[in-house]
Structure 1
Amino acid sequence: MPSAFSANHGSPRILVTRRDNIGDLVCTTPLLAALRRRWPQAFLAVLASSYNQDVLLGNRDVDRVYVFPKRQQARGKLALLWSRWQLVREIRRQRFDVIVLANGGWRYARQLGARQLLGFRERDNPPDRQPDVVVPLAAGAALHEVEKMAALGHALGVTDALGPLCVYPRAEEVARRREELRRSGFDPQRPAVAIHISSRRPQQRWPEQHFIEFIRHLAQERPALQFLLFWSPGAENDPLHPGDDARAARILAATRGLAVHPCPTTRVAELIAALSLAERVICADGGALHVAAGLGKPILCFFGDSIVAEWRPWGAPYVLLQAASRKVADLSVAEVLAGFRRLEGQSGTADKSRET
């Protein structure tokens, strides 16, 4: 396989592009760590998005994070086009040896001036619009996203990219969130269970009445527990950023008198910091799941129609529940309570607690 630089190149300039979702970027962190181990003197950069960039806060494997502005977060079309053009010019000036296309994007990446593009075959592109180095994936194999990223690393001579996910809570964010929660009665000395109720996809949503019944049952069984209720803020009918304010308000009202503390998070940095305060995490497949795995938290996770082999928690203790219908709503409260008890029975938390 051709290479943009020899295996003996001591300081290559590498750009990894990952402009999609939070969990996808979290699942790329083992590759970034392996690239840094292989080339300690490399200039290693990531092209993230304005949505997922906080995943890399405090990550010392990365020298520079370039931020691709999302359309939803831009202030007008002209401003968006101008900022994207400025970004292209800035990256071109870096003269990267290789751009690793973690989630495709040949059409955009070819503008960035690297000596070579490396990535998977892009299904909708003809043969002349493919990366310079096309990394094969075994036909029919359901690889985890971490394993797919490791295949990209292997094409560069990196053979140890299957390590743990890595996210780093910022100390100031953790302190701020802890103080906010204390004002609602949160006790840092009591074990806390994080429950994230939000999911963008209908197949991944558990009914709010189920959450209410689950919290009531578990609070009765485990009176020492307290609960952190996570959700994405906003109105459910917001066309750009739908949220779960109304659902969360109803759950909080129905569990009044129990140790349930509101924990809405707008930014990824807030999510990372607040999840670090929990002992265990309950959530559907999505960004919060992979952040929790990056923190080493034991996870009880709900899967709808997602492919388990590709998106299960990586490197953290977990119990995974998936209904035969592939709809999270069809999981019963009894099944989730049983899943939580199994999670408690597993070995203790692998919490890394790495504040920066």
Structure 2
Amino acid sequence: MKILILKRDKLGDMLLTTPMFALLRQHFPGARIDVLANTYNAWVIDGNTDVSRVCSYQRVKEGGRIHWRAAFAQLRQTLALRAEEYDWVIVANGDASHRAIKRAAWLGGCNLVSYTDAKNTHRKVNHPLEIPRQIHEARRMANLLTPLGITLPEVLPPLRFHLPAEAQTFATQWLAEQGLAPGGYLTLGLGARRAKKQPTTEQIIRWTRHFHEAWGLKTVFMWTPGKSDNPMYPGDDETAQPVLDAKLPWLVPFRGPLKPALGLIFNGRTSLFPDSGLMHFAAASPGGVLGFFAETDVSPAPAQWGPVGPRARWLEAPKAVSQLEDAAVFAELESLLK
């Protein structure tokens, strides 16, 4: 059996699809399971033994520019994949996406599985599924396997992520330079695009002081580099600056790219993050994560996007993370430190 999974989403979304890959491999151990991803998210499943092959493509339009070479490369790739004559092609989107469905239809295949709705479908989708509501995104991905005769278990397989070697190399060197030992610190990060979903400067100061005084742990404080008004990749430099201005002796700042940040997260004792891709990666780390959610009547709710795993916790505030009680944060963290 040959199966092709189309996954075009963000990094955290790709990570939440790994339980789906594991279920496929469990039920079809001899199958060829290929994934078609873009160059932005494909590295998330490097080393994943549930996947036979990862095919990646560059986006044609990036940063407002059109890359014609990428367009021709995609055409050649599509023709090559069509020639594979897959038994199943699965559009791994949590919602119905006309663009993703159209791309999958071009890939051919005997059976095409996708979530659809009245506006987003295609005549070649011969296994349309209604979009399930009120379930977690990881389970929503796994639900796409039901046309293949797979009954979902009550508990899905865990997230699977292999820390890149360069991320571990960076972490080892950086921690030595900072005088920190693996497991001897917490990681606290910013990264949510809405201010209400981030802890305030005052909270960060109080929390990190408690981590140091009560548990003897310093905090590696990280944030998304860049200005908040960047339309493509908004950063948190302005939000982080007041924390840096406090010059806390127990706080070690890190402003850098994603993979080095992952190295620090995976070497820490545990982590705290607002709802973001880094929160999901931290959930897959040995130390786990405490995630923060707020204003879920208009923002993603933890029921669908909460961190998953045996060492994943989350707290939800009515309107803003600033409403969370310190005692609640410390209690959840203590359970992760045990």
Determine if the TM-score, normalized by the shorter chain, exceeds 0.5: yes
Aligned-residue offset at 1:160: 5.0
Letter in 2 for 1:156: L
Paired with 1:53 and 1:340, the residues of 2 have a C-alpha distance of 36
Query: What are the within-5 Å matches in structure 2 for residues 36-115 of structure 1?
Result: 36-70=25-59, 71-72=61-62, 76-103=66-93, 104=97, 105-115=100-110
2:177 is aligned with 1:183:
yes
Letter matched to residue 117 of structure 1: L
Structure 2 partner of 1:30: 19
1:14 to 2:14 alignment: no
- Residue 203 of structure 1 and its aligned partner are, at CA, apart by 4.1
Counterpart in the other structure of 2:304: 310
Aligned to 1:116: 111
In the alignment, structure 1 residue 174 sits paired with structure 2 residue 168: yes
- Kindly tell me: are residues 192 and 130 of structure 1, through their superposed partners in 2, closer, same or farther at Cα, counting changes over 3 Å? farther
CA distance in 2, matches of 1:74, 1:296: 38
**Change over 3 Å in CA distance of 1:194–1:114 after alignment to 2:** same
How big is the shift at 1:313? 1.7
Provide the C-alpha distance between the structure 2 equivalents of 1:33 and 1:209, rounded to a whole number of angstroms: 42
**Secondary structure, in 3 states, of the residue corresponding to 2:116?**
coil
Paired position in structure 1 for 2:279: 289
Change (3 A) 1:95 1:60: same
Q: CA deviation at 1:75?
A: 6.3
Query: Could you report, residue by residue, the CA deviation over 1:209-252 in whole angstroms, capped at 9, with x for unpaired residues?
Result: 43233223332333x20212222222333332222234334423
Q: In structure 2, the residue corresponding to 1:195 is in which secondary structure?
A: strand
Aligned-residue offset at 1:120: 1.5
Aligned residue pairs total 326
Q: Percent identity?
A: 28
Q: Verify the 8 A CA contact 2:270 2:337 in the aligned structure 1.
A: no
Instruction: Specify the alignment match of 2:208 in structure 1.
Output: 215
Normalised by the length of structure 1, the TM-score is 0.82
CA distance in 1, matches of 2:205, 2:69: 44
SS at match of 1:135: strand
Shift of 1:338: 2.8
Evaluate the alpha carbon distance shift between residue 343 and residue 257 of structure 1 in structure 2; reply closer, same or farther with a 3 A threshold.
closer
Unaligned runs of 5+ in 2: none
SS in 1 for 2:62: helix
Query: Matches of 2:145 and 2:175 in 1, distance apart?
Result: 41
Between the aligned partners of 2:65 and 2:52, the Cα distance in structure 1 is: 28
Per the TM alignment, residue 270 of structure 1 is displaced from its structure 2 partner at its CA by 3.4
Distance 2:281 2:269 in 1: 14
The answer on 1:266 being equivalent to 2:257 is yes
Letter in 1 for 2:142: A
2:39·2:57 contact (CA, 8 Å) conserved in 1? yes
The letter for the 2-side match of 1:220 is E
Residues in 2 aligned to 1:198 and 1:35: alpha-carbon distance in whole angstroms:
32
Contact 1:173 1:273 in 2 (8 A): yes
Distance 2:130 2:12 in 1: 23
Contact kept? 1:120, 1:131, Cα under 8 Å: no
Q: CA deviation at 1:280?
A: 1.0
Q: Which of 221, 224, 235 is the matching residue for 1:232?
A: 224
Report if the CA contact (8 A) 1:196-1:282 is conserved.
Answer: yes
SS at match of 1:166: coil
Residue of structure 1 in register with 2:185 after alignment: 192
The CA distance in 1 between the partners of 2:124 and 2:79, in whole Å, is: 22
Cα distance in structure 1, aligned partners of 2:166 and 2:70: 31
Question: Shift of residue 273 of structure 1?
Answer: 2.6
Find the aligned partners of 1:228 and 1:130 in 2 and give their Cα distance.
50
Q: Which runs of 5+ in 1 are unaligned?
A: 1-11, 349-356
Change in Cα spacing, 1:52 to 1:279, as seen in structure 2 (3 Å) is same
Alignment map for 1:313-328 (pairs within 5 Å): 313-325=307-319, 327-328=320-321
Name the CA distance, whole Å, in 1 between partners of 2:247 and 2:327. Answer: 17
Secondary structure, counterpart of 1:240 in structure 2:
coil
Counterpart CA distance in 1 for 2:123 and 2:203 is: 48
Offset at residue 77 of structure 1 (A): 3.6
Query: Deviation per CA, 1:142-197, whole angstroms, max 9, x where unpaired?
Result: 11112212211222122356111111113442122221232122223x52211111
Matches of 2:36 and 2:63 in 1, distance apart? 17
Name the residue aligned to 1:251.
Answer: 243
Distance apart, 1:117 and its partner CA: 0.9
Q: Which secondary structure state, in structure 2, belongs to the residue aligned with residue 216 of structure 1?
A: helix
Instruction: Give the secondary-structure state (helix, strand or coil) at the position aligned to 2:151.
Output: coil
Relative to the length of structure 2, the TM-score reads 0.86
Deviation at 1:317, TM superposition (A): 2.8
AA in 2 matched with 1:52: N
- Taking the aligned partners of 2:124 and 2:114, their CA distance within structure 1 comes to 8
Structure possessing the higher relative contact order (Cα contacts under 8 Å, 6 or more residues apart)? 1
